[in-house]
Amino acid sequence: MLHLPFGHRELAIPVSHALEVYLRNAGLGADAFTEYFLGDEPMPLDEDGWADIRDTLAPPPPDAILDEEAEESFLKQKVKEQFDRTVELSVGTTGVTGYGFFYWARLPWRPPIQDQVSLVSFSWPTEHLEAHGPERMRAEIMELAALLPYVSGHAGLAFFSPNLWGPSMRDIHEEALRYPGLDVTHGQRDLGSRVDGVHWLNFLGPQVLTQVGGAEALRSRLHSPSTTVQPFGDDRAVVSLGAEPEAGDLLQGDTLPAYRELARALEPWLFPFPEHVTWRDCPPGVARRWWRRFLD
């Protein structure tokens, strides 16, 4: 998951390129996904569907800006959808494969809304990790991250769901609390220059890296032997928590100490728990407990 502080005008070409790289590196052909979603209803993915996706990911016309002068019907439709562009690739009735892609481009207001970001996410099944090993998995993720102008981002183990808004927490909240290394969120669109939790790979863009005092300052606060802080280009860094992603297991006493250490170091810049958030049909306070699982 990468958080991008730009609209579709700036992201059209790099996101299209990243999607091509993802499909190629994962060995996925045009038939790897069976459905696509562009903001209305899921549709069967065929040649015409790929043409729709290419059109949606194409650079927008110069006048595709939301302001007081925008056409009223265009303005209402975009505000209702919440995103300028939405592209999701998934597998429908043939079953969940673990491969997936989604891209949400923030609304193109002439003066951008403070802290609103665009989101792009790529997923692989654990079988891909097991077959090719963590080094190749890391290399594929790093290649994608290098293509995109993120403010922050992360990669690691996660509960995969073909639902655009994430998995049903009613069904998995006990597992989510037991295995703290598994992510269950689906991105924060009002993230700004804050950080969306702690994960196996943690990508820090220029603004975030400046806030934490730079890569060397952050490295000095981290002492776990499995943690590395590496420059990533001229003004970015990636913090790796071990050679491979870990789920942890609180019932076995595996609390993921390296993850907790990084959470404490980044706490002033972490996205705080939204107090209005609850997990439907789950015990009270479960969402907050999970959100702060590395801090409390």
Looking at residue 198, what is its pLDDT?
98
Identity of the amino acid at 229: V
Residue with tokens 């981290």: 222
Residue 285 is classified by DSSP as: T
What the block records as the tokens of 197 is 């939790």
Number of domains in the chain: 2
What the block records as the tokens of 242 is 């071990």
What the block records as the tokens of 89 is 């690739």
> By residue range, what is the domain housing residue 269?
192-296
What the block records as the tokens of 254 is 């595996």
Looking at residue 69, what is its pLDDT?
55
Cβ burial 14-31 (10 Å sphere, 16+ → b, else e): ebbebbebbbebbebeee
230 shares its domain with 283 = yes
The rounded distance, in Å, linking the Cα atoms of 129 and 127 is: 5
Contacts of 230 (CB under 8 A, 6+ apart): 215, 237, 238, 239, 240
In a domain, 222, yes or no: yes
Q: pTM of this prediction?
A: 0.93
Label residue 162 left, alpha or beta by phi (over 0 means left) and psi (-120 to 50 means alpha).
alpha
- In DSSP terms, which residues pair with 123 in a beta bridge? 100
129 shares its domain with 203 = no
Question: What is the residue-level pLDDT of the chain in tens, covering all 296 positions?
Answer: 999 999 999 999 999 999 999 999 999 987 889 999 998 888 999 999 999 999 999 998 877 777 655 566 666 766 767 788 899 998 865 556 889 999 999 988 888 889 999 999 999 999 999 999 999 999 999 999 999 999 999 999 998 765 545 567 888 999 999 999 999 988 899 999 999 999 999 999 999 999 999 999 999 999 999 999 999 988 999 999 999 999 999 999 999 999 999 999 999 999 999 988 888 889 999 999 999 999 99
Residue 3 exposed, middle or buried by CB count within 10 Å (0-12, 13-18, 19+)? buried
98 shares its domain with 205 = no
80 shares its domain with 212 = no
In a domain, 157, yes or no: no
232 shares its domain with 295 = yes
Select from 254, 236, 4 the least CA-distant residue to 120.
4
